[in-house]
Amino acid sequence: MNLTVLGAGAWGTALAASACPRQDTLLWARDAVQAAAMRRERCNRRYLPDAPLPAELRIGDDFAAAIAHARDGLIVVATPMSGLEGMLRRLPADAPGVLWLCKGFQEGSGRLGHEIARDVAPALRCGVLSGPSFAIEVARGQPTALVAASSDAALAEQAVEAFHSDSLRVYTSADPVGVEVGGAVKNVMAIATGIADGMQLGLNARAALITRGLAEMTRLGVALGARAETFMGLSGLGDLVLTTTGDLSRNRQVGLRLAQGLALPQILAELGHVAEGVLSAATVLRRAQSLRVAMPITEAVVGVLERRITPAQALGLLMGREARPEH
């Protein structure tokens, strides 16, 4: 299969490197200088400096050639959520199947990936590839499981053919809405858990936040048309556990540093990479409020990010809520 990955960040690079021993894979970089350096050094020094790139991985900066390479194969969009709409608009009308890797809501419009695609490219065969995954572990060939979700069953199976291997298991789902909501909301919950761990609230508090965070995620997803059972899978509970507890999580790192009293601009400058939870939190809350879905943890995170309340005040608000049935 001919496979093109659009975006040479950490996740795009890792997935391309994982696929290329089995597929004819081209990794497209927006920056010609970066592409040349990666070809020369066989390494993505900016995003994955400790992961050598396979010799057979093609690397280029010519967009038209990258699209032509995929032909009847598969295109993977590996941009941040902010770049998804622009990338979909650049694709030709006869583009093959497309999967995106980004997780979050589009800033401003509040749309999920499938909503963006529906608006800008309604005829496109498309879906999302998501799940609990740190790029560096995929690049190293460490065991990982993902889910390919699309209303087009043949496209989901094509993703299995492209990426399933001894180290990377790919499951299929017919619920792209649920998979996308899980991927977006877990980033907000990772900020919350990072704040709690930074305040040294203990393991009991962490478990409570993860569990109640899953409940918030599920309520919002079902209100948006997702299936409740999706949130007990890889893109729901799986990604939530990884992102809230793994120190490689940028969103968790944001929370840890907020608890230390650091200002958000300083935190983001030090991280040097996109933390989608920071961009998505307010949008998650707005969409929840428009649907009359209660999301108190998300509301507390937004308050801290906007500096309207301190982490200690957020804790007080959550712990002071009226007792109620769990379900």
Catalytic (active-site) positions: 186
Q: Are 187 and 276 in contact (CB under 8 A)?
A: yes
Read off the tokens for 214. Answer: 């899953």
Alpha-carbon gap, residue 26 to 74, rounded angstroms: 11
Q: How many residues comprise the chain? A: 327
Q: 275: closest CA among 304, 296, 255?
A: 255
Separation in Å, CA 265 to CA 203, 221, 261, 262, 305: 28, 30, 12, 9, 10
Can you read off the two tokens belonging to residue 194?
């990072």
Phi, psi of 165, rounded to the nearest 5 degrees: -155, -175
CB atoms within 10 A of CB 124: 18
Which of 102, 79, 115, 140 lies closest to 225 in space, CA to CA?
115
Which among 63, 56, 65 is positioned nearest to 86, based on CA atoms? 63
- Sequence-ordered strand ranges (E) for 131-270: 144-149, 168-173
Two tokens, residue 81 = 């959520």
Give the C-alpha separation, 283 to 109, whole Å: 8
| 182/185 Cα distance (integer angstroms) | 5
Q: Is 55 exposed, middle or buried (0-12, 13-18, 19+ CB in 10 A)?
A: exposed
Which amino acid does the sequence have at 75?
A: I
